[in-house]
Amino acid sequence: MSGRRPLIAGNWKMNKTGVEAREHVARLRAHLGDGDLHADVAVCPAFTALEATARAASGSSVRVLAQAVHEAPSGAHTGEISAGMIAAAGADGTLVGHSERRAAGETDDQVAARVRAALDVGLDVIMCVGESLEQREAGETDAWLTGQVRAGLAQVAAGEVSVLAIAYEPIWAIGTGRTATPEIAQEACAHVRAIAGETLDAVAVRVLYGGSVTPETAPALLSQPDIDGALVGGASLDPDAFAAIVGAA
Ligand code: PEP
């Protein structure tokens, strides 16, 4: 991994209340210990559990990220949450551009503005990109990823590379149990890195793989040279499985 510190992030999606989140983090802390880890570890609770999760993780190496953010600092955006609110809840960062949000209408321009809004208040960002099965089968994967990466990074300065990671998440692998092979994931992550390298230091930028990562599939994926960690959905809901993936890193 060329000295890049691995990052394992768990996306809880629409799961876990604040009480459940506290229990989960306590179990995760017991697994990981509070000493120095060889990887950065993050969990991404729903907005309603953000503050409880941040409190439960306080003093540990577990970082807390929101799952989405709005680009505006405040205003008439019913149901949305600003970057400032996420920071005030005690979170360290946020996901931006998850494919489930993009499928609900989030555009490349919004992703770029949301990345910028998060960075502006000091939040770390994991920006997600990934192609559909139809795009892969049509041979459009590289061109699609190129467009998403360039658009999403449009407002990121070179000096911000340390607080931003990019998660390559093929849509066909998310929640399907159809994990990308290490070769496919490596090839796409290398491409994402090369495109990010047009504006950021390609050696420094962390590129994660996401899509049905499990304790079984993690070791081969995480041993690829351009895969610096994982964004984990389903398997992150179980602290034992998630800790095992962290262990693989
Ligand atoms: C995700 O939601 O980002 C994800 C990768 O989910 P899963 O691990 O369940 O495929």
Closest Cα to atom 4 of ligand 1 = 233
At 1 the pLDDT is 40
Residue 69: C-alpha distances to residues 112, 121, 124, 211 (Å): 11, 12, 12, 21
At 36 the pLDDT is 75
Closest Cα to atom 2 of ligand 1 = 233
pLDDT > 90 in the chain, percent: 96
At 132 the pLDDT is 97
pTM of the shown model? 0.97
Pocket test for ligand 1, best of 168, 232, 245 (most atoms within 8 A of CB): 232
pLDDT at position 179 over 50 = yes
pLDDT at position 167 over 70 = yes
Average pLDDT over residues 193-211: 98
Pocket flag, ligand 1, residue 179 (CB < 6 Å)? no
Pocket flag, ligand 1, residue 233 (CB < 6 Å)? yes
24 is catalytic: no
Q: What is the pLDDT confidence band of residue 37, given thresholds at 50, 70 and 90?
A: confident
pLDDT at position 2 over 90 = no
Average pLDDT over residues 140-157: 98
Using CA atoms, how far apart are residues 210 and 111, in angstroms rounded to an integer? 18
Strand 229-232 versus strand 62-66 pairing type: unpaired
Average pLDDT over residues 206-220: 97
**Contact yes or no for 229/39 (Cβ under 8 A):** yes
Model pLDDT for residues 68-102, shown as the tens digit of each residue = 999 999 999 999 999 999 999 999 999 999 999 99
77 is catalytic: no
Average pLDDT over residues 23-35: 90
At 145 the pLDDT is 98
Which is higher by pLDDT, 134 or 37?
Answer: 134
Give the largest CA-CA distance in the chain: 48
Q: How many angstroms is it from 87 CA to the middle of ligand 1?
A: 24
Pocket test for ligand 1, best of 8, 11, 172 (most atoms within 8 A of CB): 11
Residue 74: C-alpha distances to residues 58, 194, 233 (Å): 27, 35, 29
Residues 6+ apart with CB under 8 A from 239: 24, 27, 28, 31
- Name the 3-class secondary structure at 193: helix
Q: Which atom of ligand 1 is nearest to the CA of 98?
A: 3
Lookup result for tokens 């809901």: 237
Question: How many other β-carbons are positioned within 10 Å of the β-carbon of residue 42?
Answer: 26
Q: How many angstroms is it from 124 CA to the middle of ligand 1?
A: 19
**Contact yes or no for 231/11 (Cβ under 8 A):** yes
The residue annotated as part of the active site, out of 71, 100, 131, 169, is 169
pLDDT at position 40 over 80 = yes
Helices 108-120 and 141-152 cross at an angle (nearest 10°) of 40
Q: Which atom of ligand 1 is nearest to the CA of 13?
A: 2
Strand 93-96 versus strand 206-210 pairing type: unpaired
Pocket flag, ligand 1, residue 10 (CB < 6 Å)? no
Pocket flag, ligand 1, residue 210 (CB < 6 Å)? yes
Lookup result for tokens 């504006």: 199
One-letter amino acid of 153 = L
